[in-house]
Amino acid sequence: MSSATGQDPLSATKNASFFEANERYAERVGRLETYRHIRHAIDPHVAGARRVLDVGNGGVFDYDTTLAGEIVGVDLFVGGTPSDLPSNIELRRGDALALDEPDASYDRVLEISVFHHLVGRDASSTLRNIERAISEARRVLETGGRLVVMESCVSARAFAIERRLLAPLHVLARTPVMRHPAALQFPPETISAAIDECFGNVTVEPIPVGRWIIQFGVRWPSALTPARPYLFTAVR
């Protein structure tokens, strides 16, 4: 494990390298109906926010950035804010598991497609990473502030298979064959329980999918994958 985070060090490195060159990924995601549905689900929770912390942003905005006053996007590889971004957006380096942000400094925290990338050595350590990220999000939220999580989830049956595949994926990720980092998707009930444990309240909504969905960075027919997007919200 990394001393700075609970992530597997290779996973953290591959996450950074994979999403650093994200222009093609962002363009591909933006064309898919599934991700338009995701945007429509997130936008109402961003609208009217004074100060948003977008954790694991990766330079990709899955929502209308004009709806919020100020947006701070943090990710492992971010080294500065490109000059072509709107003036209300700032990008800087940040770790979902150890946010370098003051307590109670935001009225929204977004975690969009982040949790399945917080991979530890196994399913248990990955879940602990997710719980730690949720705790960090709560810390930086002001009273009455809202956590907004969009996460790719699978059924309990599919998760039982995925968790057994995590170790082989770690091995494969060490080779040139697999460019995408290892990832682990949890059932929505698990994510909901983790948020509820920290916040004491959580709302869960399935998000409709279109014909295609992104899996391991590749466009994949929705009918051939158990992965489905869910929106989780909670108030501090």
Distance of CA 81 to the CA centre of its chain: 20
Q: Flag whether 34 is in a domain.
A: yes
CATH number assigned to the domain comprising residue 206: 3.40.50.150
Q: Flag whether 69 is in a domain.
A: yes
Q: Flag whether 99 is in a domain.
A: yes
pTM: predicted TM-score of the whole model, two decimal places: 0.88
Half-sphere exposure at residue 123, Cβ-oriented, CA atoms within 13 angstroms: 14
Q: Flag whether 2 is in a domain.
A: no
With residue 152 as reference, give the H or E element that holds it: strand 141-153
With residue 41 as reference, give the H or E element that holds it: helix 33-46
Lowest average pLDDT, out of 78-87, 161-170, 179-188, goes to 78-87
Strands 106-112 and 141-153: parallel
Burial of 142 (C-beta count, 10 Å sphere; 0-12/13-18/19+) = middle
Read off the pLDDT of residues 50-69 as tens digits, 9 standing for 90 and up.
999 999 987 789 999 999 99
Print the domain residue range for 71.
9-235
Residue 4 has pLDDT above 50, yes or no: no
Helix axes 123-140, 188-199, angle to 10 degrees: 40
For range 184-213, the mean pLDDT:
96
Q: Flag whether 78 is in a domain.
A: yes
- Name the 3-class secondary structure at 210: coil
pLDDT of residue 18: 53
Read off the pLDDT of residues 20-48 as tens digits, 9 standing for 90 and up.
555 555 566 667 899 999 999 999 999 99
Read off the pLDDT of residues 76-135 as tens digits, 9 standing for 90 and up.
877 666 778 899 999 999 999 999 999 999 999 999 999 999 999 999 999 999 999 999
**Count: domains in the chain:** 1
Q: What share of the chain is helix, strand, coil (3-state, %, to 5)?
A: 40, 25, 40
Identity at 52, one-letter amino acid code = V
Q: Flag whether 21 is in a domain.
A: yes
Q: Flag whether 166 is in a domain.
A: yes
Strand spans (E) along 35-80: 51-55, 70-75
Q: Which residues pair with 226 in a beta bridge?
A: none
Read off the tokens for 81: 């804010």
Q: Flag whether 55 is in a domain.
A: yes
pLDDT of residue 123: 96
